Amino acid sequence: MLIQAGYTISINASVDTAVVAQLSIRPDRFPDLVTPHRILASPDVPLYDYHDSFGNHCTRFTIPPGGLTISCDFTIEDDGKPDEQTPDAIQHAVEDLPNDVLVYLLGSRYCETDLLMNSAWSQFGHITGGWQRVQAIVDFTHRQIEFGYHHANARRGAWGAYQEGVGVCRDFAHLAVALCRCMNIPARYCTGYLGDIGIPPVDAPMDFSAWFEVWLGGAWRTFDARHNTPRIGRILMAVGRDATDTAITTTYGPTILQQFEVRCEEAQPMEQNERKAAE
């Protein structure tokens, strides 16, 4: 199956303002690209790419006075399968974890494990470790938080979501990640595209989505506490300890967001047939 995705983002600034953006897909999805993935800037300014310590593809640029629009459109091939379910995936002892996975056991800005530790062990300590325990955490988080875009709060962390019981997709991910880490299960925050593929269309503007991955059975496994059901067509952009490490844009100065449009949908049958004919 083919998925068409992209975005248009306009940001206004009154002075030259440096930006680091994480608006590219993860490098391990590059081989799936059917068309080039290029970030375009208007006005045309230099764009500099690098990989951060989490393996994310980052882009640096400077917004000139008057503002800047960045955009990208691409087509990517996907297997069309829902998120893989592996109920027999085991939880590893901490001493057996790979060195580069250990960082995902630590508390972070939006995942306050110290505040949630007692609650986590009292609620999930009796559940068998591994997939079953993570699914119990996902089920709890899904029930605990009421989703609503009007509940968005950039300052809210996992502890706030736990107490307030409201949030957006990032709050679901932060709470589930923090609870997993409390239970010695490495968990990392993920952001990317998730279109309405295989489900009824959602009557809301498209946005980037947040979910999380846990290290079970020697691999990263995908979970989504907001939707709590396997989904089709995830396109991963960035991973990290929490939303700080995966911010769509980090601006070093005052800015105003003027336009934010995200696109992600299955390519129409005619377009897919044209692709096959070209091959």
* Per-residue pLDDT at 274: 52
Q: What's the chain's Rg over C-alpha atoms?
A: 19
* Per-residue pLDDT at 71: 98
Task: Give mean pLDDT in consecutive 10-residue pieces for the chain, a chain of 279 residues.
Answer: 97 97 96 96 97 97 97 97 96 97 97 98 95 98 95 95 96 98 98 95 89 98 97 98 97 96 87 52
> Do 155 and 236 sit in the same domain of this protein?
yes
CA 211/CA 223 separation, integer angstroms: 6
User: 199 in helix, strand or coil?
Assistant: coil
Q: How confident is the model over 152-205, as pLDDT tens digits?
A: 999 999 999 999 999 999 999 999 999 999 999 999 999 999 999 999 888 888
> Do 129 and 258 sit in the same domain of this protein?
no
Contact criterion met (CB below 8 Å) for 134 and 179: no
**CATH number of the domain to which 140 belongs:** 3.10.620.30
Contact criterion met (CB below 8 Å) for 274 and 10: no
Contact criterion met (CB below 8 Å) for 161 and 114: no
> Do 62 and 107 sit in the same domain of this protein?
no
> Do 257 and 199 sit in the same domain of this protein?
no
In a domain, 88, yes or no: no
In a domain, 221, yes or no: yes
In a domain, 184, yes or no: yes
**CATH number of the domain to which 75 belongs:** 2.60.40.2250
* Per-residue pLDDT at 277: 46
Contact criterion met (CB below 8 Å) for 176 and 137: yes
In a domain, 133, yes or no: yes
In a domain, 86, yes or no: no
In a domain, 89, yes or no: no
> Do 272 and 162 sit in the same domain of this protein?
no
Question: Which ranges of 99-256 would DSSP assign to H, the alpha helix?
Answer: 113-124, 131-144, 158-164, 169-182
> Do 69 and 146 sit in the same domain of this protein?
no
Q: Which residues, including other chains, have CB under 8 Å from residue 226's CB and lie 6 or more apart?
A: 142, 145, 147, 169, 172, 173, 209, 210, 211
> Do 260 and 136 sit in the same domain of this protein?
no
> Do 49 and 72 sit in the same domain of this protein?
yes
In a domain, 85, yes or no: no
> Do 146 and 217 sit in the same domain of this protein?
yes
In a domain, 87, yes or no: no
Instruction: Give the residue numbers spanning the domain of 6.
Output: 2-80+248-278
Q: State how far the alpha carbon of 22 is from the alpha carbons of 67, 122, 139, 239, in Å.
A: 19, 37, 29, 10
Contact criterion met (CB below 8 Å) for 15 and 25: no
CA 242/CA 170 separation, integer angstroms: 9
Domains of the chain: total: 2
H or E, element range at 189: strand 187-193
* Per-residue pLDDT at 255: 97
pTM for this prediction: 0.93
* Per-residue pLDDT at 80: 94
Q: What is the 3-state secondary structure (H, E, C) of 49-109?
A: EEECCCCCEEEEEEECCCCEEEEEEEEEECCCCECCCCCCCCCCCHHHCCHHHHHHHCCEC
